[in-house]
């Protein structure tokens, strides 16, 4: 089984006995150059954009994620898994799977995947509605997309309940 296929099979937002009912959650919109981060609370089900990680090297990015883990003390991490509109495996799926395994291994926290299809488009529309358009969106877009991903995860938990 290819890594991307295993990630897609693990994509779920159903409550499980291993998933806590409350606590902070960090959400990630992984990208090769930038990774958006959002934070939310399981009990409230509300996500907020946090920051965009744009460190040039992986070690610096993971050091910053470590600082965020210390600060927010999450009980769970959610990573957006890209798919093609037809449901096919996206070319970034393998890199997303590796990123998820790395944060799970480094920080000892469970990681869930959720579909990130069109999260950047939704984030761009939300920013435009706030009066942030064009080039002004660039530094905020990834964290806004992470918020969309995490909010989508929370909403799927409500539907599954």
Q: Are 25 and 42 in contact (CB under 8 A)?
A: yes
Q: How far is CA 67 from CA 64, 74, 87, 99, 111, in A?
A: 5, 11, 35, 17, 17
Residue 66 has pLDDT above 80, yes or no: yes
Mean pLDDT of 91-112: 94
Tokens representing 67 are 């600082």
Among 144, 76, 82, 80, which Cα is nearest to 111's? 76
- Higher per-residue confidence, 37 vs 90: 37
Q: Are 132 and 45 in contact (CB under 8 A)?
A: no
- Higher per-residue confidence, 6 vs 150: 150
* pTM score of the predicted model: 0.82
Runs of H (alpha helix) within the chain: 3-10, 58-72, 93-107, 119-129, 138-160
Mean pLDDT of 124-139: 72
Residue 16 has pLDDT above 70, yes or no: no
Find the helix or strand (DSSP H, E) in which 39 lies: strand 35-41
Q: Which fold has domain 3-7+21-160?
A: Nucleotidyltransferase; domain 5 (3.30.420)
Give me the residue spans of the domains in the chain.
3-7+21-160
What's the CA gap between 115 and 124, in Å, rounded?
17
What's the CA gap between 75 and 88, in Å, rounded?
30
- Higher per-residue confidence, 111 vs 87: 111
């Amino acid at each position: 089984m290819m890594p991307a296929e295993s990630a897609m099979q693990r994509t779920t937002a159903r409550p499980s006995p291993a998933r806590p009912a409350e606590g902070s959650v960090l959400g990630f919109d992984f990208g090769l150059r930038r990774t958006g981060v959002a934070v939310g609370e399981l009990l409230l089900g509300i996500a907020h954009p946090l920051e965009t990680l744009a460190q040039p090297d992986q070690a610096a990015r993971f050091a910053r994620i470590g600082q965020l883990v210390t600060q927010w003390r999450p009980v769970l991490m959610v990573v957006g898994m890209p798919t093609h509109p037809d449901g096919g495996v996206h070319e970034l799926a393998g890199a997303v799977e590796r990123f998820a395994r790395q944060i799970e291994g480094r920080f000892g926290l469970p990681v869930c995947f959720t579909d990130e299809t069109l999260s950047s488009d939704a984030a761009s529309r939300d920013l435009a509605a706030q009066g942030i358009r064009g080039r002004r969106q660039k530094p905020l877009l990834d964290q806004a997309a992470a918020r969309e991903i995490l909010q989508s995860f929370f909403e799927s938990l409500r539907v599954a309940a």
